[in-house]
Amino acid sequence: MISILRRLLPPPPLLMELPNACGGSQRLIVLAQQLRLYKPPPFPSDDDIEEQRIEETAGKVVSQVGFAESDTPVARDPEKFRPKRAAVLVCLFEGDAGDLRVILTKRSSGLSTHSGEVSLPGGKTEEGDKDDGDTATREAKEEIGLDPKLVNVVTVLEPFLSKHLLRVVPVIGILNEKEAFKPDPNPAEVEAVFDAPLEMFLKDENRTSKEREWMGDKFLIHFFDYETKNKKYMIWGLTAGILIRAASVVYKRPPNFVEQNPRFKVTKSCR
């Protein structure tokens, strides 16, 4: 696979400035080719695991805690469980300055839970969804009016587990014609639609972190301060974790900071 990637892609940095082509810039075409070759780490199938009661707020994917499933205690000591499934859309497009950007939402301030928090479009899988890409693009249509026909779904990342053990699959899609997307947020769910540079989630600028304990382990929760059009946003928790991982895959390098603490069990005396 590495040899194939080397033939398809120029040397780092991953993406070059290339002339426009039909159906999106050549840069986005190369990116789509690269991401289609990406294979996430294997994870358990729903047929292999027993059912457990899971709860999540209103079927939407917002969580103050969330980590890649393979990095959690569930993967290390797999007590059998069947998490409910959800998907979020990491929708990338080329900004006016030539940078890669990702579409984000701010939840409505009138919501009873997680009001005003930043999230990726997405939600729980529903009967009739063919796959995770279907779930993510359907939810994006419902939340922000993004027509699924405009999104070129190219790959999925390793699932993340939310605080309530909802299995969240990040779906990476490419928006080739950004001018065709006219945000139409559902006011019951979304207060604002904005975008941020994807590479920001690899940099140590405007970032803080806090250590949290979850399921007997300690992890780092990352917080990114972002300002655009005189509005300030805090991107953190599950959303930040997914975007760090997405940026690492797209740019083929780790972040400039410790993504999470080395794994260790919290002793009883420390609890």
Domain residue ranges in the chain: 27-34+83-251
pLDDT of residue 130: 96
SS3 202: helix
- In the block, which residue shows the tokens 């140590």? 204
pLDDT of residue 72: 62
pLDDT of residue 74: 58
**Which residues of the chain, if any, have pLDDT below 50?**
1-22, 45-58, 62-63, 112, 264-271
Strands 100-107 and 118-119: antiparallel
Strands 85-94 and 167-175: parallel
Model-level pTM?
0.78
pLDDT of residue 236: 94
In sign, the C-alpha dihedral spanning 22, 27, 30, 36 is negative
The partner residues of 153 in beta bridges, in order of sequence, read: 173
Interior angle at CA 98, CA 92 and CA 100, nearest 5: 25
| Helices vs strands, H then E, count in the chain | 5, 14
The whole-angstrom separation of Cα 48 and Cα 66 is 22
pLDDT of residue 110: 62
Q: Does domain 27-34+83-251 have CATH number 3.90.79.10?
A: yes
User: Residue 97, class by beta-carbon neighbours within 10 Å (0-12 exposed, 13-18 middle, 19+ buried)?
Assistant: exposed
The 8-class DSSP code of residue 262 comes to P
pLDDT of residue 152: 97
The partner residues of 222 in beta bridges, in order of sequence, read: 209
The partner residues of 195 in beta bridges, in order of sequence, read: 103
Can you read off the two tokens belonging to residue 114? 């997680």
- In the block, which residue shows the tokens 């991107």? 235
